[in-house]
Homo-oligomer: A and B are copies of this chain.
Amino acid sequence: MALAVTGTVGIDTVYTPDGDHREHVLGGSCTYFAAAANFYGPVRIVGAVGDDFPDDLRSTFDRFNNIDTAGLETRKGSKTFRWGGKYQENMDHRDTLFTELNVLAEAPPPVPESYRDSTMVFLANTHPAVQLDMLSRFPDRKLAVADTMDLWINTERETLTQLVKQIDGLVLNYDEAEQLTGMKNTVAAARELVSWGPAFVVVKKGEHGCIFAHRDGIAALPAFPAERVIDPTGAGDTFAGGMFGHLCRATDAGALTNLTDFDVLRRALAHGTVMASFTIEDFSLDRLATLTQEDIDRRYDEFARMMHL
């Protein structure tokens, strides 16, 4: 299995409620996803940055052994995507301070020829038309999952609906699931979205875990109980990265044959939960950059034990 992720690579500025902050740190959906998936095996990224992208941020990718950056285009004369946000006191909501789309507002990056044989594709959040286009670049895909956001639900509902019909799984936040379906109940909204076409839908609820709706059933997973949350940025993308990483590694190990099996995906979501629980422990990729396989295995075991009745 070869795993690819398409999405954003950006420069973040993050303020936390206790007054701490970080300026110009590495961010973006692609980045977080890849950093998490990297612990399970090779991951290919497709994204674009401007020629202002600083070397010290670029070198962060090298701290992760398994990230293939052949698909990270550096576009001359363009500027890198920048985002700034401030978390509210409960850490569950954030205010966007600024969004400079820059290179994201231009044509999407090309997908390298070397990526064409990718069998697992995660389309991190971006314009659904770009996601549809990206989808077509991976003719050998066996699993395609997309994330989205409120902006596209408001402005590009038709294209988004088209996308949802062509993918195996959709990942989105609880308020977005409500917005997309008009249903207040998260479980009902998730089930409704499954009826639109995909084999499964994962509704993310931050500190409250996720709801997993699947053709063959429904499940709920708690988040790993975290006593100290420093920066939740990227938690959702590392969640998806851990999920895909596990699916990819388990398939390669011959441990599973059906990527969209209910129980297989449930276990993958637990891996996603564990990876997200590390991300929030520090700013940007700081915690993931120092993470060991032993850390991950220990927390996964703890989570599984916690869940076992």
Interfacial residues, chain A to chain B (CB-CB below 8 A): 89-91, 184-188, 191, 205, 207-209, 211, 217-229, 266-267, 270, 303-304, 306-309
Contacts and interface: CB of A to CB of B under 8 A. Distances in A.
Smallest CB-CB A-B distances: 3 pairs = A220-B222, A208-B208, A304-B309
Given A90-B184, A184-B91, A308-B307, A209 B222 contact: yes
Nearest to A191: B227
Nearest to A213: B225
A270 B222 CA distance: 13
B221 A222 contact: yes
24 contacts: A89-B184, A90-B184, A91-B184, A91-B185, A185-B226, A187-B226, A187-B227, A209-B209, A211-B225, A217-B306, A218-B227, A218-B306, A219-B225, A219-B306, A220-B223, A220-B225, A222-B222, A266-B309, A303-B309, A304-B309, A307-B307, A307-B308, A307-B309, A308-B308
B309 A308 contact: yes
Contact of A188 (B191, B218, B227, B303): B227
A29 B139 CA distance: 59
A91 B186 CA distance: 11
A224 B228 contact: no
Given A90-B184, A270-B309, A303-B309, 5 more contacts: A185-B227, A185-B229, A208-B209, A218-B225, A308-B309
Contacts of A90: 184
B309 A220 contact: no
Nearest to A210: B222
A275 to B, nearest CB: 15
A228 B309 contact: no
A225 B308 CA distance: 17
Contacts of A217: 306
A304 B309 CA distance: 6
A219 B224 CA distance: 8
Contact of A187 (B225, B270, B306, B309): B225
A219 B266 CA distance: 18
A209 B221 CA distance: 10
